[in-house]
Amino acid sequence: MENFIINIGRQLASGGRGIAAILAQHYGITAYDRKLIELAAKESGLSQEFFENADEKKSHGFFHSIFSNRAAANALGSNDSYLSNDALFKVQSDIMRELAEKESCIFIGRCADYILRDHPRCINLFFTADLEDRVARMASEKNITPEQAAELIEKTDRRRANYYNYYSGKTWGAAESYDLCVNTSHLGFEGTAEMLIGYIESRLKK
């Protein structure tokens, strides 16, 4: 079978990582989330800290014209703290394209659907969930109050939207930006994954 890519956009605590893990196990492929940051840091020679600090955050644009490719980033050495988020986005995008060329895999967030828009076998998904479910899940996971969980969700979703909209020119979470948008509260993680497997396999037969 030709390589295929599943790209997952997600609201915080809607099940992106959990469902990606189920799909990855079913297909015997890798789901790249934070592992993508590790790979980008390793292959670029830059500190992982800079990728983590810039993760899904839009650029302020200060050095975009100066640091526009991986070669420039590598040449900085100890001065890599001056890299803009745009330059780090470029490095991470290159890693995504390289991975997509050689293997089937799942990418979680980070504008993967936009970066791989020219890949012939991409399936772009977006996960949402009822707010009360998301708050309860985040409060339990982080051991925080529901009020704190709601605040974290609002802040993270706003940051992800700003990042996606800035780099893609599309609208984060809008149905027209994806192939399929799913509310995971209705079927749960396992049920949603089972439904998606049917959809994905129908798409890949085309």
110 has a pLDDT exceeding 80: yes
Strand pairing partners for 126?
9, 181
* Residues constituting the chain: 206
Are 96 and 23 spatial neighbours (Cβ–Cβ below 8 Å)?
Answer: no
Taken in order of first residue, the domains within the chain and their CATH numbers are 1-29+107-206 (3.40.50.300), 30-102 (no CATH)
- pLDDT tens digits, residue range 136-171? 999 999 999 999 999 999 999 999 999 999 999 999
Q: By three-state DSSP, how is residue 16 classified?
A: helix
Tell me, what DSSP letter sits at residue 81?
A: G
For residue 71, is pLDDT > 70?
A: no
What's residue 78's pLDDT? 37
The average pLDDT across 111-135 equals 97
What is this structure's pTM? 0.87
